[in-house]
């Protein structure tokens, strides 16, 4: 089977939608001899920061000579990005091999799993076959009923919680935190990166406060600087300097979560320092071009947009930024666009209509006050217009593409990034 045909078949499982519960994934894993029990698990949930935190841990473990698997979602360009071992995406050949094994297992137990359940089973099996020592698992959505939660985390990290996916997780921080904290198991060492009282209440119901390490409280003396020349984040912690290649205020909390996990695993500080300089994570204030300065930022919810606003405000004025944005229809569109208008005085709304959760630029336009907002449905035309704006207005210094990882993906696909 060709990889394109195979992936189309794999994506067809999306028709079964999102199902809350672990029955399917448990049955699949049991039929595969429970591969998720064959390595140590670092399980990461939270509203924002999961991918960055996971990638920092991955890089440091690799530099420490460990065999490491990492599972994240969504992918930006290729499905292969979701499943990585030893710093490399899974190959097309391995995808085909693993998928056929999982497909056979599903046939034998007569269930209708979702796309994420099938993909998660593939990941578990692949990591077992590759003999990884550590598997870093990013929760897809929620936590308690997420397919990854069939695994028992040796270290569990809950980065933070804000209100999202309300149709599945609840409409307040406490209810959502209950779902996110659902990955905490009896043997887990627990790390959190938030101080919200409702969030902590949910966590402490799963694990007593004295058994939870809150890195915000533990490392309250941490300080940092944003380097707008090199787009790095300089962190000063425990008399040591760490330079993060990931840029932004919010990356400091992600780093603290990763740092604490790596200390638990006895990873040398020099290895951590080297790893932090070399971490690459797509669409997190990622520099696409310096002429003109073009930044990809996957900010896809209120917290993400506020984090972007905070970063940009350190280095730029509102009249220096052009934003290209598209947002999925199940997000808080009006509020996110209002934050965009606080960041920039020139907004270009564009289409994600090819995504079943996407909207036309014209539909997004109707959520705005229409002041200094223009519509360009085509991503290529939107970027061309942004460059013309920068050429015409010498105050303008940067273009930011944001609103969804799918917006960044579309940009990269448009320009073959």
pLDDT of res. 164: 58
Query: Does residue 166 have a pLDDT over 60?
Result: no
With a pLDDT cut of 90, the percent of the chain lying above it is 84
pLDDT value of residue 356: 87
The region of weakest confidence among 168-172, 196-200, 204-208, 276-280 is: 168-172
Q: Give the model's pLDDT for residue 380.
A: 97
Of the two residues 233 and 14, the one the predictor is more confident about is 233
What is the arithmetic mean of pLDDT over 46-52?
Answer: 92
- 90: which 2 tokens? 């899974």
**Unique residue bearing structure tokens 């970027």:** 383
pLDDT-based confidence at residue 167 (cuts at 50, 70, 90) = low
Q: Read out DSSP for 356-374?
A: TT---HHHHHTTS--TTEE
Residue 12 has pLDDT above 90, yes or no: no
**Token pair listed for 335:** 């509020």
Q: How many CB atoms lie within 10 A of CB 346?
A: 22
- C-alpha distances (whole Å) from 279 to each of 59, 63, 222, 224, 244 are 6, 11, 20, 18, 8
* CATH class of the structural domain 286-414: alpha beta
State pLDDT tens for residues 286-318: 999 999 999 999 999 998 999 999 999 999 999
- pLDDT score, position 99: 96
pLDDT band at 168 (very low <50, low <70, confident <90, very high): low
> What's the confidence (pLDDT) of residue 110?
84
Do 252 and 222 touch, CB atoms closer than 8 A? yes
The sign one gets for the Cα dihedral 70, 72, 78, 83 is positive
DSSP tag of 43: E
Q: How confident is the model at residue 5 (pLDDT cuts 50, 70, 90)?
A: confident
Work out the mean pLDDT of the chain and round it to a whole number. Answer: 94
The confidence score (pLDDT) of residue 315 equals: 93
| Number of Cα atoms under 13 Å in the Cβ half of residue 299 | 32
Q: Widest CA span of the chain, in angstroms?
A: 65
Residues 6+ positions from 14 with CB-CB distance below 8 Å = 114, 115
Cβ partners under 8 Å of residue 182, min gap 6: 142, 143, 144, 145, 149, 206
Q: What is the mean pLDDT of residues 77-92?
A: 96
Report the percent of the chain where pLDDT is more than 70: 96
pLDDT for res 133:
98
Reduced to 3 states, what is the DSSP secondary structure of residue 158?
strand
Q: How far is 35 from 30, CA to CA, in rounded Å?
A: 8
C-alpha distances out from residue 286 to 139, 265, 282, 412, Å: 23, 29, 6, 11
Structure tokens, 35: 């591969």
In the CATH scheme, what is the code of domain 3-278?
A: 3.40.1190.10
How would residue 117 be classed by pLDDT, with cut points 50, 70 and 90? very high
Residues 255-272: what's their mean pLDDT? 98
Q: What is the pLDDT of residue 137?
A: 98
Q: Give the residue extent of every domain in the chain.
A: 3-278, 286-414
């Amino acid at each position: 089977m060709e990889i394109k045909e195979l992936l189309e078949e794999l994506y067809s499982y999306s028709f079964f939608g999102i199902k809350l519960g672990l029955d399917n994934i448990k049955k699949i894993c049991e039929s595969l001899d429970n591969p998720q029990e064959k390595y140590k698990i670092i399980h990461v949930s939270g509203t924002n920061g999961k991918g960055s935190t996971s990638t920092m841990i991955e890089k440091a473990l690799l530099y420490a000579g460990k065999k490491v698997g990492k599972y994240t979602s969504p992918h930006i360009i290729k499905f292969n990005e979701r499943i990585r071992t030893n710093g490399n995406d899974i190959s097309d050949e391995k995808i085909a091999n693993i998928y056929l094994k999982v497909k056979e297992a599903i046939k034998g137990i007569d269930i209708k799993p979702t796309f994420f359940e099938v993909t998660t089973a593939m990941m578990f099996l692949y990591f077992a076959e590759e003999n990884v020592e550590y598997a870093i698992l990013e929760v897809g959505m929620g936590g308690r009923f997420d397919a990854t939660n069939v695994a028992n985390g040796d270290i569990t990290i809950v980065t933070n919680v804000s209100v999202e996916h309300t149709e599945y997780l609840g409409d307040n921080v406490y209810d959502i935190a209950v779902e996110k904290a659902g990955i905490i198991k009896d043997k887990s060492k627990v790390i959190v990166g938030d101080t919200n009282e409702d969030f902590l209440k949910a966590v402490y119901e799963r694990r007593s406060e004295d058994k939870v390490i809150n890195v915000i409280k533990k490392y309250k003396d941490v300080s940092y600087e944003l380097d707008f020349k090199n787009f790095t984040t300089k962190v000063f912690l425990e008399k040591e300097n760490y330079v993060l290649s990931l840029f932004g205020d919010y990356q400091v909390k992600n780093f603290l979560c990763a740092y604490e996990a790596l200390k638990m695993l006895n990873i040398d500080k020099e290895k951590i320092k080297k790893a932090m300089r070399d971490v690459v994570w797509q669409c997190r204030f990622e520099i696409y071009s310096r002429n003109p300065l073009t930044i990809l930022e996957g900010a896809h919810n209120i917290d993400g947009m506020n984090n972007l606003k905070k970063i940009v405000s350190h280095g730029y004025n509102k009249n220096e930024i052009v934003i290209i944005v598209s947002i999925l229809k199940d997000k808080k569109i009006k509020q996110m666009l209002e934050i965009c208008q606080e960041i920039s005085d020139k907004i270009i709304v564009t289409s994600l209509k090819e995504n079943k959760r996407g909207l036309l630029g014209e539909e997004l336009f109707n959520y705005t006050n229409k002041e200094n907002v223009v519509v360009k449905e085509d991503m290529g035309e939107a970027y061309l217009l942004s460059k013309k704006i920068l050429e015409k207005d010498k105050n303008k210094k940067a273009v930011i593409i944001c609103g969804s990882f799918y917006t960044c993906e579309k940009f990269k696909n448009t320009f073959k990034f």
